[in-house]
Amino acid sequence: NAGVTQTPKFRVLKTGQSMTLLCAQDMNHEYMYWYRQDPGMGLRLIHYSVGEGTTAKGEVPDGYNVSRLKKQNFLLGLESAAPSQTSVYFCASSYSLGEGQPQHFGDGTRLSIL
Amino acid sequence: GQNIDQPTEMTATEGAIVQINCTYQTSGFNGLFWYQQHAGEAPTFLSYNVLDGLEEKGRFSSFLSRSKGYSYLLLKELQMKDSASYLCAVVDSNYQLIWGAGTKLIIKP
- Determine the pLDDT at residue A48: 96
Asked if residue A46 lies in contact with residue A32, where contact means CB atoms within 8 angstroms, the answer is no
Taking alpha carbons only, the member of A40, A87, A39 closest to residue A60 is A87
Q: Which residues of B touch A4 (CB under 8 A)?
A: 42
| Chain A residue with minimum CA distance to B96 | A97
Q: How high is the pLDDT of residue A99? A: 76
Peptide bond into B7 cis (omega under 30): no
Section B1-12 average pLDDT? 94
Taking CB atoms and an 8 Å limit, are A58 and B33 in contact across chains?
no
Q: Which residues of B touch A90 (CB under 8 A)?
A: 42-43
List, as own/partner pairs, every contact residues A61-70 make where C-beta atoms lie below 8 angstroms and the sequence separation is at least 24, other chains included.
A64/A34, A66/A34, A68/A32
Cβ atoms B99, B87 nearer than 8 A: yes
Contact residues for B108 (Cβ-Cβ < 8 A; gap 6+) = B11, B12, B13, B14
pLDDT of residue A96: 87
pLDDT tens, residue by residue, B27-61: 899 999 999 999 999 999 999 999 999 999 999 99
What integer best gives the mean pLDDT of chain B?
Answer: 96
At A51-64, the pLDDT tens digits run: 999 999 999 999 99
Which pLDDT belongs to residue B101?
Answer: 95
**Which parts of chain A sit beneath pLDDT 70?**
1
Q: How confident is the model at residue B75 (pLDDT cuts 50, 70, 90)?
A: very high
Amino acid at B53: G
A73 vs A53: CA distance, rounded Å: 10
Residue B84: band (very low, low, confident or very high) from pLDDT cuts 50, 70, 90: very high
CA A59 – CA A30 distance, rounded (Å): 20
Regarding beta strands B103-108 and B9-13, do their DSSP bridges make them parallel or antiparallel, or are they unpaired? parallel
State pLDDT tens for residues A71-89: 999 999 999 999 999 999 9
Model pLDDT, residue A1: 67
> Nearest-CA distance from B30 to chain A in Å?
7
- Answer whether residue B73 shows pLDDT above 90: yes
Q: How confident is the model at residue A28, as a pLDDT?
A: 96
The b/e string for B62-81 (b: 16+ C-beta within 10 A; e otherwise) is: bbbeeeebebbbebeebeee
Closest CB to A107: pick one of B42, B98, B100: B42
Q: Do the Cβ atoms of B105 and B85 come closer than 8 Å?
A: yes
Mark which residues 26-45 of A lie under 8 Å from B by CB. Answer: 40-45
Is A58's Cβ below 8 Å from some Cβ in B? yes
